[in-house]
A and B are shown apart, each in its own frame.
Chain A
Amino acid sequence: ETGVTQSPTHLIKTRGQQVTLRCSSQSGHNTVSWYQQALGQGPQFIFQYYREEENGRGNFPPRFSGLQFPNYSSELNVNALELDDSALYLCASSRQGRETQYFGPGTRLLVL
């Protein structure tokens, strides 16, 4: 059984640019959630996708957007990058929203 994978592992961008992060969910999982983890903090919920529809959103501005594809993989897009967007971005998949979430290794984004 393949676990959750994320790409790329690291990324450096400059302020104002746009970025796309990718996540492949674990086999059999139809729900994907995205989290942002700043250094020394716990992960903060960005949004969740269930069967290609957004199924809830945290306190993040609209420049954070996402997609889920028919194979349940997902993308996180961030427009107009700000310095504070520098963080570890984690993707997690599950069979349903409140079941155990399985996390990927994360993408480390640095905005200069």
Chain B
Amino acid sequence: KQEVTQIPAALSVPEGENLVLNCSFTDSAIYNLQWFRQDPGKGLTSLLLIQSSQREQTSGRLNASLDKSSGRSTLYIAASQPGDSATYLCAVYMNYGGSQGNLIFGKGTKLSVKP
């Protein structure tokens, strides 16, 4: 059974710092991996999607990497801003299983960027 773990559970940094959020998964037979952002009490916003054949994806100040063989992904945020404060979730789709729509999520990292 796939398990997705995110470390740390919470992170507080001063504005302007570069930071890394970690995601690990136990089964490497993934189809793709997505990073999401969730503001308090709100829905999820997709940030980056990495196909299993890719190593990284970039969007603005965000860069996500994927090492499928070691079961790890990182989300790098450059020059953090107070507006980046939110919970960041990673999720994987598996290659197998009857349901193609089954995103398996970690519990998230709650990020706070202090002005």
Contacts and interface: CB of A to CB of B under 8 A. Distances in A.
Q: How large is the interface on B (under 10, 10 to 19, 20 to 34, 35 or more residues)?
A: 20 to 34
A42 B41 contact: no
Contacts, number: 80
Contacts of B45: 103
B43 A45 contact: no
Given A57-B99, A100-B34, A42 B106 contact: yes
A33 B98 CA distance: 14
Interface residues of A, number: 33
Interface of B: 4, 31-32, 34, 36, 41-46, 49, 89, 91, 93, 97-108
Interface of A: 4, 6, 31, 33, 35, 40-45, 47-48, 50, 55-58, 88, 90, 92, 94, 96-98, 100-106, 108
